[in-house]
Structures are given as C-alpha cells and as structure tokens.
Amino acid sequence: MGEFMASSTGQDRRRGDFSYRDRITCGTLARTSVVKRTRMQIYYSGTVQGVGFRYSVKSVANGFEVTGTIRNLADGRVELLAEGGKEELEAFRQGIRDSGLAHFIHKEDITWNEAKNEFRGFEIVR
C-alpha cells in the first residue's frame, strides 16, 4: 500500500493532484459536494444612499460564503452583485434585511444569472 501514499508537492496540490490516501479520505467528499455558483443582482430603491447601506451590506457579507460588489448608482439606487451558492445567496439577501436595513428598502429588483467568477471577496465600489 505504500506505493499509493506517495505525497504530492504543494505545487501538485494547487493543480488538484492528490495522493491515493487524499482521494479516499477527503478528496472524494470535497469533490462530490461542489456547489453550483450563481449570480444574484439586486437593485435596491428607497432611502439606500447616505445611510451607511453599503457598509452594512459589506459587514453582513462577511458572515456568508459570497463574493461580489455593492455600489451607489447616480439615480439614487444601490446595485448589489453577489456570487455563491443559490441557498447561500438567498440567506445573504435575508441577512441584509434582518440586519436592520429592511426599513430603508422600498423595492428590490432581483435577477439571477450564471456566475462569472470575477470577484475576490466582497467590496464596496466607489
């Protein structure tokens, strides 16, 4: 069995190459539980500028497995782009409302699309 337990270098692991032992113990579980990422775009209308809305949403995002951006628009709305698993995004959306921001929001226009994987972390765009 020793021939199957040859270790991988750090460089191999970054490419996704694992030893036989890794494949049996944790690699299989990790690869079968891959969550399909999706993109959620929300336009918030209401009193959403000048009240710390973007900063609060960024703070909420830290508690979820999401990436994306939030920014003010010239027409007074705020645009949220976030990517992650659909259930996680729905929980994030509810988390925003539950954080005390619901009373600032009069309307949410939401669309769902395929993730583009273009974000690293969650950022406020100025």
Joined together, the tokens standing for residue 1 give 């069995």
Active site residue 54: yes
Joined together, the tokens standing for residue 29 give 């579980």
How many angstroms separate the CA atoms of 42 and 126, rounded? 17
Point out the catalytic residue in the list 54, 71, 77, 93. Answer: 54
Joined together, the tokens standing for residue 13 give 């692991």
Active site residue 72: yes
Three-state DSSP at 43 gives strand
Point out the catalytic residue in the list 21, 71, 72, 97. Answer: 72
- Name the phi and psi angles at 48, rounded to 5: -115, 0
Contact 20, 27 (CB under 8 A): no
> For residue 63, what are the CA distances in angstroms to 25, 28, 112, 125?
28, 27, 21, 19
Catalytic residues: 54, 72
